[in-house]
Amino acid sequence: MQKTQLATRPLGASGLEITRVGFGAWAIGGGGWEFGWGPQADDESVAAIHRALDLGVNWIDTAAAYGFGRSEEIVGQALAGLSERPYVFTKASLLDDGSRHVRHSLKRGSILREAEASLRRLGVDAIDLYQIHWPIPAEDIEEGWSAMAELKEQGLVRHIGVSNFSASQLRRIQQIAPVETIQPPYSLIDRAAEADVLPLAQRERIGVIVYSPMGSGLLAGGITRERIAAMPEDDWRKTDPQFAEPQLSRHLALVARLRAVADRHGVTPGAVAVAWTLRNPAVSGAITGFRRPAQVEPIVAAAGLELTDRDVAEIEAAN
């Protein structure tokens, strides 16, 4: 099958050119761990990745923590044998504490060991973008960032960035080595990044890829109270406050507004939610999670969706 061509945008000053949407591999880590998404068939995951690549998506974002290695292994399986592979982005700093819960480490030795394990699981000779997953413990972010810079100098990773860092934490580590990318949560239900992280990134040409642009599925258009109640016990969303009252009613009202805009454009509410994040001039791309091939095309449509001022005003209207 011939691949579709999607428009690309520079990822800050990194030199990478990425499609406006990327494949997010959190959910394909499956269930059975602290932030799992319930049972997941690996063959469906691989098929979803291949569908995204066929539609022109040119980057995958995963992490060692997603299923504690499972997501990276599945990405590696999907990439094996491809004549042309996408960019592969992954993250370090979250480890299994022995009970399938996360523990944090930014120690140099831990970061270096994580990189080696990720390279092996992914089956690549270098990671295109390696990111610190969380700035925890905060007192160790300089040590962790120094280790990332070391990996880049060694050629084991091509670019380095961070996720979930505040603007002040970004400034702290910039003294050690340039921060090439930042990955904050950003969506219609979490706009905190607009305050200082996105303006700082735009000002200093730090590439931005945002995660959870659909609020971990809340804004995709298929979430109902009944569906939440039926979620597997090992789906982290089942007990998350965003998926419960009083927030849930507010989010479902937002989805209704997204749907009205989506109907005008002939797309899905999820595509509108993603396109809304891409309107911010600081944002290069949005991470969109998929678990099945059929989910991919309706959301990839966001890459070419131009929302009007009227659309935005309608979406952002108070409940």
Catalytic residues: 66
The residues pairing with 303 across neighbouring beta strands, listed in sequence order, are none
Q: Identity (one letter) of the amino acid at 97?
A: D
Nearest-angstrom CA–CA distance, 118 and 113: 9
Helix 108-122 and helix 141-154, axial crossing angle in degrees, nearest 10: 50
Per-residue buried b or exposed e for 199-236, using 16+ beta carbons within 10 Å of the residue's own CB:
ebbeeeebbbbbbbbbbbbbbbbebeeeebeebeebbb
Nearest Cα residue to 28 out of 8, 51, 12, 6:
51
Based on its alpha-carbon atoms, the radius of gyration of the chain, rounded to whole angstroms, reads 19
Q: Phi, psi at residue 95, to the nearest 5°?
A: -120, 160
Per-residue buried b or exposed e for 275-286, using 16+ beta carbons within 10 Å of the residue's own CB:
bbbbebebbbbb
- Cα angle vertex 296, ends 249, 209, to 5°? 75
